[in-house]
Amino acid sequence: MKYSVTIGAKTFEVEVEGSRVTVDGVALEADLAAVSGTPLYHLLLGGESWTVAAEPLEGGGRWVLGLVGERVDVAVEDERTRGIEAGTATGRRVSEGGTVRAPMPGLVVRIEVAEGQEVDAGTGLVVVEAMKMENELRAPRPGKVQTVHVAVGQAVEKGASLVTLASPEPSG
């Protein structure tokens, strides 16, 4: 199966056939095993071993990964879905508004934006501390900060609204 995997602003073409994974034309041996009762996975990729925390986000095909102390937003789309969306023009539009939500329970330690501020994709919005790790939540796309729903020092539950982005103003 072929996938389009977007990490930040970069998109990779990934093909999976059994334990063989091809990333942008480079073939690698891979093995992925869930750690029972946790959101953790052990990933063996091209001879290197990684422990990855994975949490699904709303909207399907979107994940937040914790890897080497870093938080990474990932979007995955298989070739079948991509073909259907292209054929029906129902693909996700970058210009739509949206709310960034807490991927896990934690404590808001920093707010890096203000209402009305224009942001680019990948701009840091809010930092939430969870399990003694700071997780910077970033804008999934360009937009304008419509609402900041939290305050520094506030405890949040998984799925809590943190920041709502409005569609960017059309230039013209």
Q: Which residues contact 93 (CB under 8 A, 6 or more apart)?
A: none
In the numeric block, the tokens 């900060």 are attached to 145
Q: Who wins on pLDDT, 56 or 93?
A: 56
**Separate counts of helices (H) and strands (E) for the chain:** 1, 16
Interatomic CA distance for residues 130 and 135, integer angstroms: 7
CATH of 98-166, one of 2.40.50.100, 1.10.1740.10, 3.40.50.11900, 1.10.3720.10: 2.40.50.100
- Cα-Cα end-to-end distance for the chain: 41
Is there a contact between 108 and 154 (Cβ–Cβ < 8 Å)? Answer: yes
- pTM greater than 0.75: no
pLDDT value of position 109: 95
- Show me where the domains of the chain are located: 2-88, 98-166
Residue 169, pLDDT above cutoff 70: no
Q: How many whole angstroms separate alpha carbon 167 and alpha carbon 38?
A: 36
The answer to whether residue 12 scores a pLDDT higher than 50 is yes
Q: How confident is the model at residue 139 (pLDDT cuts 50, 70, 90)?
A: confident
pLDDT tens-digit series, residues 48-88: 998 988 888 766 788 888 877 788 888 888 877 666 545 54
